[in-house]
Each structure stands twice: as C-alpha cells, then as structure tokens.
Structure 1
Amino acid sequence: MIDMNETSERPLLPDHLSSDPRSPHHVAAVFEHHIGIHLNDKELFNVEEYCVSEGWVKVPAGKTRDRKGNPLLIKLKGKVEAFYK
C-alpha cells in the first residue's frame, strides 16, 4: 500500500541530475528517496548522472579511475526516464 503523504513530499525529479555533491546539478533532497533510471526501457543501477531532455546517462567505466581517484564515466545515449521507486 502506498502512503499518499510519502508521495506528496517527494520533490520533482529534475531534467539533469548528478550524484556528485560538487556538481551544480546535484539536488540533495532528491537523493533522500530511491530513484530509478530507465535507458531504452532497461533499468540501470549504476547511473552517476543523467539528462532526460538531451537523452544521455553517465555510468562508471569499470574500475577505472582518473588521477583524482574519481571513477571515469562513459556517456550512453538513448531514451532516458527517471522515476521514484
């Protein structure tokens, strides 16, 4: 059973969202809830950043890291849908 108060307290999902707190596209209030991402009708679990209007997601490229220790990200393009679980 879905509690109606819980769904009304969720902020709207932005068009562009990043999980990196240093990014200008990071919205902390959204990450208090479980978010799901579909790319071409397939759910992805390792999305670091997405943009619905431009149709891309960024996911880590395996265990590869840049010189600052952050994961290297690759951009996948397609139909992006963001939703609350």
Structure 2
Amino acid sequence: MSTDLPDRLSSDPDSPFHDAALLERGIGILFNGAEKTNVEEYCVSEGWIRVAAGKTLDRKGKPMTLKLKGTVEPFLKEAEAGEPDAD
C-alpha cells in the first residue's frame, strides 16, 4: 500500500472524506485479495468497504450501500503501458 493514499476515502461529493483530485488519478481497491470496481467508500484502519446494493436508491437519490468487512488495500491505478496514441 502506498503511503500517499488516505486511510478513508469516499466517492460521494457530500462526504467529508471526498477528494476529487485523488479520485481523478484513479484508485483501485483490493478487498480480501480481489480487486473491487464498485466501491463507494473505504476505510483501511477499520477494515471495511461500502459497495452499491444493486440499483436501489435512498430517499435522497443516492445509491443504497452495503458495508463489507475484511482486508482493504487501496492502490493508485497506473496508466496502461503500450496504449496506442489517438492521432
């Protein structure tokens, strides 16, 4: 795990743990050794992630989430090497 990543991060702009600049760089999450692509929020020290529960929405129009507990390892996604340039 890289030391420049925060302990807790959320994709919800209303959350105090939201960091748009960091999210634009691309964050990946390894949860119990498997990469998860649908993570809404994570906390490394407490060992949990929040994932969307299907397409259901709460009364404010935000996705309903489930809290899953386990080992959380965030990482920065690197640009794919060898991608052809669009000319």
Q: Tell me which interval the TM-score lies in, with the shorter structure as reference length.
A: 0.7 to 0.9
Task: Extract unaligned runs of 5+ from structure 1.
Answer: 1-10
Task: Extract unaligned runs of 5+ from structure 2.
Answer: 78-87
What is the match of residue 5 of structure 1?
A: none
Correspondence 1:29 to 2:21: yes
Cα drift, residue 68 of structure 1: 1.2
Correspondence 1:77 to 2:69: yes
List per-residue Cα deviations over 1:28-81 (Å, max 9, x = no partner).
Answer: 221121110010000000000000000000000001111111100000100000
RMSD after superposition: 1.2
Calculate percent identity across the aligned residue pairs: 64
Separation in 1 of the partners of 2:34 and 2:19? Answer: 24
Residue type at the aligned position of 1:70? K
Match 1:52 to one of 44, 52, 61: 44
Separation in 2 of the partners of 1:68 and 1:26? Answer: 18
Cα drift, residue 16 of structure 1: 0.4
Correspondence 1:67 to 2:41: no
What is the aligned length? 75
Residue type at the aligned position of 2:36? L
Residue type at the aligned position of 2:60? K
TM-score with structure 2 length normalisation?
Answer: 0.82
